[in-house]
């Protein structure tokens, strides 16, 4: 069985606030779609289209590979913890909990502006959020 079939690409939603003045729209798309060189993200409110340049497409492609690698290593990460030193001792947080409970932000500079992209990754186990 190949790794590609055993660990399919997870569903990943990436979104950001529209950059048009006065628009309150949130532009969202599945990260896997950026592989298409003709891909454009479109604001659902003002219909502004966003094309991805090669540099941004490369960064997001590498992010998708990282997410896939994390998915492939879930059995290892399930046994891992992140240790945080606090006054009076140490807190151990299961790594799997961090992956499912923390919001992931990717901050990139685009046209001289710092833009926060929110990344939502589907858990491989549908019971993980219950």
Asked, for residue 129, whether it belongs to a domain, the answer is: no
**71: which residues sit within 8 A by CB, 6+ positions away?**
7, 10, 124
Asked, for residue 130, whether it belongs to a domain, the answer is: no
Asked, for residue 29, whether it belongs to a domain, the answer is: yes
Asked, for residue 33, whether it belongs to a domain, the answer is: yes
Please give the mean pLDDT across all residues of the chain. Answer: 79
Query: How many independent structural domains does the chain possess?
Result: 1
Q: Which domain holds residue 99?
A: 3-121
pLDDT of residue 5: 47
User: pLDDT 10s per residue in the chain (130 long)?
Assistant: 344 445 556 678 888 999 899 999 999 998 888 878 888 999 999 999 998 888 888 888 888 888 888 778 878 877 888 888 999 999 998 877 776 666 678 887 777 788 888 887 765 554 443 3
Asked, for residue 97, whether it belongs to a domain, the answer is: yes
Asked, for residue 101, whether it belongs to a domain, the answer is: yes
**118: which residues sit within 8 A by CB, 6+ positions away?**
14, 15, 16, 103, 104, 105
């Amino acid at each position: 069985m190949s790794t590609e079939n055993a660990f399919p690409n997870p569903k990943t939603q990436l979104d950001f606030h529209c950059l048009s003045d006065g628009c309150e729209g949130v532009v969202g798309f599945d990260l896997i779609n950026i592989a298409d060189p003709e891909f454009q993200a479109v604001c659902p409110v003002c219909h502004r289209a966003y094309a991805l340049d090669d540099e941004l497409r490369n960064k997001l492609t590498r992010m998708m590979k990282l997410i896939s690698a994390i998915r492939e290593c879930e059995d290892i990460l399930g046994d891992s913890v992140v240790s945080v030193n606090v006054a009076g001792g140490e807190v151990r947080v299961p790594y799997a909990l961090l992956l499912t409970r923390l919001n992931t932000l990717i901050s990139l500079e685009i046209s001289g502006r710092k833009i926060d992209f929110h990344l939502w990754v589907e858990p491989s186990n549908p019971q993980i959020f219950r």
